[in-house]
């Protein structure tokens, strides 16, 4: 009998969690309105031969009402925290902000299952899913081949361009995009 992978991100269930269609639609709306799709790097970014130099997918949802990140954690796993330190809020008339987040396979699972429901972040989710698909093939390598690193850099660059604000890309954003290239 084949072993069931409880962490396969291309299935409806993940790690014992099985959200309903309504919960998937809600999550897609929360990601569309309050969320971010990110491709981050771990480790030494300059040395692509290092096993610790890896790209990873991250998904966040932020809100000033703690009930939203609690709901995300209860239905989709991941974790949440106060977004800032006490010192950050000192002397400011700001509400406390909370961030729920997850990464890698869990993030891909959520994006994959939210695809039919996204209104605005479908393109970003598809790029994130492409990154996670590239992880499946890369496990056979001891170190990442330069073409895999290049492909992941290109995905990160495409995501940054999609997320750029305004009609023209601000100089600071263009500098971030150029650093990836």
pLDDT tens figures, 43-62: 654 554 444 358 999 999 99
Residue 11 lies in a domain: no
Specify whether the CB–CB gap between 17 and 77 falls below 8 A. yes
Mean pLDDT of the chain: 86
Residues near 44 by beta carbon (within 8 Å), at least 6 away in sequence: 50, 52, 53
Best CA proximity match to 109, nearest among 2, 4, 7, 5: 7
Residue 39 lies in a domain: yes
Rounded CA separation 132/86 (Å): 35
Report the number of distinct structural domains present in the chain: 1
Q: Which residues of the chain have pLDDT under 70?
A: 1-7, 43-53, 137-142, 181
- Domain holding 57, by residue range, is 21-148
pLDDT of 4 = 52
Residue 77 lies in a domain: yes
Rounded CA separation 85/96 (Å): 10
pLDDT of 64 = 93
pLDDT of 113 = 98
pLDDT of 146 = 82
pLDDT of 35 = 97
Residue 163 lies in a domain: no
Give me the CATH number covering residue 141.
3.10.28.10
């Amino acid at each position: 009998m084949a072993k069931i992978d409880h962490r396969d991100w291309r299935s409806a269930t993940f790690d014992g969690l099985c959200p309903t269609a309504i919960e998937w639609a809600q999550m897609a709306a929360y990601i569309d309105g309050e969320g971010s799709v990110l491709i981050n790097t771990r480790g030494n970014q300059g040395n692509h031969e290092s096993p610790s130099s890896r790209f990873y997918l991250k998904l966040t949802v932020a809100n000033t009402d703690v009930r939203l990140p609690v709901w995300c954690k209860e239905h989709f796993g991941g974790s949440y925290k106060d977004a800032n330190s006490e010192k950050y809020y000192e002397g400011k008339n700001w509400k406390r902000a909370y961030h729920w987040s997850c990464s890698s396979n869990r993030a891909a699972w959520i994006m994959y299952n939210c695809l039919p429901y996204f209104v605005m972040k479908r393109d970003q989710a598809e790029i994130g899913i492409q990154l996670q698909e590239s992880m499946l093939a890369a496990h056979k390598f001891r170190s990442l081949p330069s073409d895999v690193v290049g492909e992941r850099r290109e995905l990160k660059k495409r995501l940054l361009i999609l997320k750029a604000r305004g009609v023209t890309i601000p100089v600071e954003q263009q500098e971030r995009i150029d650093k990836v290239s």
